[in-house]
Amino acid sequence: MGLLSDPNRRRALTNLLTRLNTPLWGMPVDWLVKAMQARGLEVFTQSFSRTLPFPDENKERYMVHGTNVYGILRAPRAPRTEALVLSAPCTPGSSNNQAVGLLLGLAQYFRGQMYWAKDIIFLVNEHDLIGMQAWLEGYHHTNTTGMSWTPLEGRGGSIQAALSLELSSDIITSLDLVLEGLNGQLPNLDLANLFYAFCQKIGVLCTIQGKLQRNDWDSAAGYSQAVQTMLLMVLKQASGRPWGDHGLFLRYHIEAASIRGINSFRQYKTDLTTVGKLLEGMFRKLNNLLERLHQSYFFYLLPSLSRFVSIGYYMPAFGLLAAILLLRALDLWVQLGSPAPGTEDGLPFGPGVLSVLTPLIISHLTGVALYTLPIMAQQTAVEHFPVSETEAVVLTAIAIYTAGLALPHNTHRVLSGEGTEEGWRVLKLIAIFYMAVLLGCTALINFSLGFILALTLVPVAAFITPHVPRVLSALVMVLLSPGSTLLFSIFVYQELQEAPITLLEGWNLFLSVISQGILDHNLYGSLVYPLISLLVYPCWLLLWNILFWK
């Protein structure tokens, strides 16, 4: 007894999948509506549209119009207060052409069961993340990103958990679990454990970060694979983008994960009926939940699917880095250790404070320029240079970033006086404390991003003074600046994925990552780009100012 033990249902599913194997023009809304209605679901559609701030060259879209189709399977004997979501993104082409078929097959099977206590919403979203964002905003009556969508006519109660399916072939060798969501938020570890335990029970291979976990933990090879898996998770979490359609659910306090079917060269292959059994089991377990998943950790790193590093283990590492900054700040305070500033002159503040205020204001203005100008100036850039809009935005951002390096030579000419020994100490104290608070807050929200920034910026912040050898320190500072960190992370990421790339490919990937970052911020509210441009970059510019203090 279970899914598809009935041969008729098996045949129906195979028919569906064969039909879906043919390439489709966009999303077949009417066909989906009819198919879902035929399976006894309450079907509704939502149309949405969004004009991106500049064309997205990775997915080749600029003005996006789409329709989400969702069908609600009402629980037969329960009040309609809670819901579960199974979603499959529908894209033209062959990248995700099996998931919708499996979804419909599951819908048909679930309809015949009596044990559902929560409504199940089967969602097919168009234009993956943009459609998902529109659906979630419509479901929760919020509008944070300026998308226009039609209101949802049917609702199912508060969503307890969600699973997103991505299947590209009907025979798979393993299932990849994707957990990282928007702004590095992760679902409760219970959800990942649940999925892995069930995979083991059914006998399907489950991987994380595309790597199969090993049994030999003590050997060097096993340890190095665990480290690589964890590093991949850190890099993915630090990017702040949702790595699957589930990533947008987490913001609404809904535990969600994405399941990706992978067909590679392995000995044992599983067909979709087993995957269907797996999903049925997952949904039955989620159906039995009495409360939202909150007992396990929300902050963790996974070196493999059966081991985790909790926040209690990895936060002290970050705490020690922040302690470096605080100790250096204490040291500067003791060095400064003089009576109340600036009461000798006729001015209310001595020249010390004023000469510190100027670099602060100019750095932050540069940060504001880095945040606002690339998108605002893309039209003028396209008129004057032979580049496309995306390239214009990205190259403007890089140009402003490097233009900031030229600043310290001009800042001091704004003020008539020269900087003093005390001046750079005060500026460094402010910069270090600012950086400590900033990195602390970042690490609390997105630990990986905070840790990577801390690793590269804390050594620079600690040793920089106007008296270190200038050229060497300038080189080190530029190599450890946020932009270069991003470039190196891309190369490291590709190495860890075992798909190393050449320098030119890396540079192109770097440009596309910057454009994706800006787009993520505009489309979904990702915080990485504003954080780096408005807060981290001015902080780094302050340190650059100190290096060139005269």
Binding site for another protein (CB under 8 A): 185, 250-251, 253, 292, 294, 298-299, 326, 329-330, 333, 339-340, 343, 348, 433, 436-438, 440-441, 444-445
- Residue (199 or 461) nearer to another protein, CB: 461
Q: How far is the CB of 342 from another protein (least distance, A)?
A: 9
Element (H, E) at 430: helix 421-445
E-assigned strands of 195-250?
A: 206-208
Q: 218: Cβ–Cβ under 8 A, 6 or more apart, which residues?
A: none
Sign of CA dihedral 130, 527, 207, 163: negative
Q: How far is the CB of 404 from another protein (least distance, A)?
A: 24
The DSSP letter of residue 532 is: I
What does the angle CA 265 – CA 271 – CA 275 come to, to the nearest 5 degrees?
110
- Residue (168 or 193) nearer to another protein, CB: 193
- Residue (174 or 183) nearer to another protein, CB: 183
Ramachandran assignment for 121, one of left (phi > 0), alpha (psi -120 to 50 degrees), beta (any other): beta
Q: How far is the CB of 531 from another protein (least distance, A)?
A: 12
Q: How far is the CB of 50 from another protein (least distance, A)?
A: 20
- Residue (171 or 441) nearer to another protein, CB: 441
Half-sphere exposure of 122 (CA within 13 A, CB side): 28
- Residue (38 or 441) nearer to another protein, CB: 441
Q: How far is the CB of 441 from another protein (least distance, A)?
A: 5
- Residue (343 or 379) nearer to another protein, CB: 343
CA distance 200 to 247: 25
What does the angle CA 327 – CA 328 – CA 334 come to, to the nearest 5 degrees?
90
- Residue (124 or 430) nearer to another protein, CB: 430
Q: How far is the CB of 27 from another protein (least distance, A)?
A: 31
CA distance 173 to 44: 34
Tokens standing for residue 500? 């190393």
DSSP percent split of the chain into helix, strand, coil, nearest 5: 55, 15, 30
Q: How far is the CB of 64 from another protein (least distance, A)?
A: 25
- Residue (320 or 326) nearer to another protein, CB: 326
The DSSP letter of residue 457 is: H
Q: How far is the CB of 339 from another protein (least distance, A)?
A: 6
Q: How far is the CB of 229 from another protein (least distance, A)?
A: 22
Q: How far is the CB of 326 from another protein (least distance, A)?
A: 7
Of 24, 42, 36, 178, give the one whose Cα is nearest residue 98: 24
- Residue (126 or 255) nearer to another protein, CB: 255
Amino acid at 458: V
- Residue (35 or 85) nearer to another protein, CB: 85
Element (H, E) at 261: strand 255-262
Please state the separation of Cα 349 from the chain's center in Å: 44
Q: Supply φ then ψ for residue 347, to 5 degrees.
A: -85, 150
CA distance 298 to 530: 24
Q: How far is the CB of 444 from another protein (least distance, A)?
A: 5
Find where tokens 């279970």 sit: 2
Q: How far is the CB of 442 from another protein (least distance, A)?
A: 9
Q: Give bridge partners of residue 141 from the DSSP assignment.
A: none
- Residue (36 or 432) nearer to another protein, CB: 432
Tokens standing for residue 86? 């199974």
Instruction: Find out whether 101 and 36 touch, Cβ atoms under 8 Å.
Output: no
- Residue (43 or 436) nearer to another protein, CB: 436
What does the angle CA 253 – CA 256 – CA 259 come to, to the nearest 5 degrees?
170
